[in-house]
């Protein structure tokens, strides 16, 4: 059997993602017949059926599903090889594609860009902002090299490096601060008075866990899509929320009548970097960690 054509393996993974020949062909910038021929050539070369076809529909065989996963790994390794070759083996140069979640990006991107530009001047940084689930999918598919996430979070097939902590603060309108005792108990807050982000934002899961909010009657069914919206709700005297310290440090409460105080039990979220197991760029990633950690509210002691 001949070695597979990497371009054909790429077509296969795109077809699996799109589950539609026309859409996959458009994504790959080829004709539908070219895509179909490439898949057929793969099947002929391997001697195994990858798709079960019926009229204009198809499903991947079990072998085809397994081959797609191995193809993703091979394509990712090929991208790493290409990055290494383009940088002439210099780990401090080349392109680095960094993904960041929306509850970190607005408060960290500018200092991260400046720190990387100063510490790694030959490195070209490309940035992407998205939810945790989407970023992890893009990382596994080789679209991104490394992620800046809030942890803990399950990241199968990836390595995590904790680089610091970001404490949570309870925020309330100044007229409602008097409702809070010096050592306030969340259970003492009114029902439906705590606002959180929509579930696709991992900050909600971390706040629920760190601040003991699971199954609390105080949590409102009204959710927001951003931290700025949460602060607006609080500023309207509708209730309370939890805001990470990095957002406070960047002035998210500026221009409001909202006050912040530490959350119960010194609650916090961990901030870390995530990358694929088996990458050849660990030296670079650890340098990135050393550059970003000092920018966090509570940097890790050793990296």
- Whether 6-85 and 89-303 share one fold: the answer is no
Extents of the domains making up the chain: 6-85, 89-303
- The tokens for 128 are 């992407």
> Digits of tens for pLDDT over the chain (303 positions)?
678 888 999 899 989 988 989 999 998 999 999 999 999 989 988 889 999 988 778 999 999 999 998 888 888 888 777 777 776 677 888 889 999 999 999 999 999 999 999 999 999 999 999 999 999 988 988 889 999 999 988 898 899 999 999 999 989 998 887 766 555 667 777 888 888 888 777 888 887 787 777 667 888 888 888 999 999 999 999 889 989 999 999 999 999 999 988 876 778 999 999 999 888 889 999 999 999 999 999 999 888
- The tokens for 152 are 């803990």
pLDDT of residue 217: 80
Report whether 201 contacts 129 (CB < 8 A).
Answer: no
pLDDT of residue 84: 73
Whether domain 89-303 has CATH 3.40.50.2300: the reply is no
d(CA 285, CA 273): 8
pLDDT of residue 184: 61
Neighbours of 3 (CB within 10 A): 6
What's 6-85's CATH class? mainly alpha
Cα 32 to Cα 20, 27, 35, 63, 214: the distances in Å are: 10, 11, 5, 23, 50
pLDDT of residue 293: 97
pLDDT of residue 63: 93
Give the contacts of 285 (CB within 8 A, at least 6 positions apart): 146, 161, 273, 275, 279
Give the contacts of 191 (CB within 8 A, at least 6 positions apart): 217, 218
d(CA 223, CA 241): 11
pLDDT of residue 135: 95
């Amino acid at each position: 059997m001949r070695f597979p054509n990497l371009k054909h393996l790429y077509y296969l993974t795109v077809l699996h993602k799109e589950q539609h020949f026309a859409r996959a062909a458009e994504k790959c910038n080829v004709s539908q017949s070219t895509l179909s021929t490439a898949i057929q050539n793969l099947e002929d070369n391997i001697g195994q059926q990858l798709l079960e076809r019926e009229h204009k529909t198809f499903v991947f065989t079990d072998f085809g599903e397994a081959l797609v996963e191995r193809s993703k790994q091979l394509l990712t390794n090929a991208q790493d090889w290409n990055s290494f070759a383009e940088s002439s083996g210099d780990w401090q140069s080349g392109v680095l594609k960094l993904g960041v979640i929306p509850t970190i990006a607005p408060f960290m991107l500018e200092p991260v860009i400046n720190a990387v530009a100063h510490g790694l001047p030959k490195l070209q940084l490309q940035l992407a902002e998205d939810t945790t689930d989407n970023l992890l999918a893009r990382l596994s598919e080789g679209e991104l090299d490394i992620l800046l996430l809030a942890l803990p979070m399950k990241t199968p097939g990836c390595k995590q490096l904790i680089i610091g902590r970001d404490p949570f603060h309870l925020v309330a309108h100044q007229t409602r601060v008097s409702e809070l005792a010096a050592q306030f108990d969340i259970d003492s807050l009114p029902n439906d008075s705590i606002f959180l982000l929509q579930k696709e934002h991992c900050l909600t899961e971390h706040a629920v866990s760190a601040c003991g909010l699971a199954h609390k009657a105080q949590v409102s069914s009204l959710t927001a899509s951003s931290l700025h919206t949460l602060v607006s709700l609080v500023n309207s005297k509708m209730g309370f929320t939890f805001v990470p310290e990095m957002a406070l440090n960047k002035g998210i409460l500026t221009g409001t009548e909202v006050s912040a105080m530490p959350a119960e039990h010194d609650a916090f979220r961990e901030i870390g970097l995530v990358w694929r197991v088996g990458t050849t760029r660990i030296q670079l990633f650890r340098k990135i960690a050393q550059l970003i950690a000092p920018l966090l509210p509570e940097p890790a002691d050793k990296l």
